[in-house]
Amino acid sequence: MVTVGIDPHKDMHQAVALAQDGTRLGRAKKVNTGPQALGQLLAWIRALAANSPVLWAIEGGPGLGRALADALLGAGQEVVWVPPRAMAAHRRLGGPVGAKSDV
């Protein structure tokens, strides 16, 4: 399974794909918000995931990522929400103090 982490923003979304062992697949993808975002992200992940199933993990719950989550679900994709507090706790445990990265 390939997991795609999405950090949604008002004007763009940042995505990173991870293999099952946690290694990054390819380069991070940045897409502008709007109707074109879905097609761009699906084309990007198809090239990286081959025939592996994909799980889309969107940070922040039903806020800035809601439209993208709805579009992904409509395209038959599996989507989960990642609470921002979980990401903050992960940063505290796993990286340099105060480190935050969108990729």
User: pLDDT value at position 89?
Assistant: 47
* pTM recorded for the entire structure: 0.81
SS percent in the chain: helix, strand, coil, step 5: 35, 35, 35
pLDDT tens column, 22-69? 999 999 999 999 999 999 999 999 999 999 999 999 998 678 899 999
Give me the sheet containing 12-18, strands edge to edge. Answer: 24-32, 12-18, 2-8, 54-59, 78-82
pLDDT tens column, 59-98? 986 788 999 999 999 999 999 999 876 555 444 555 554 5
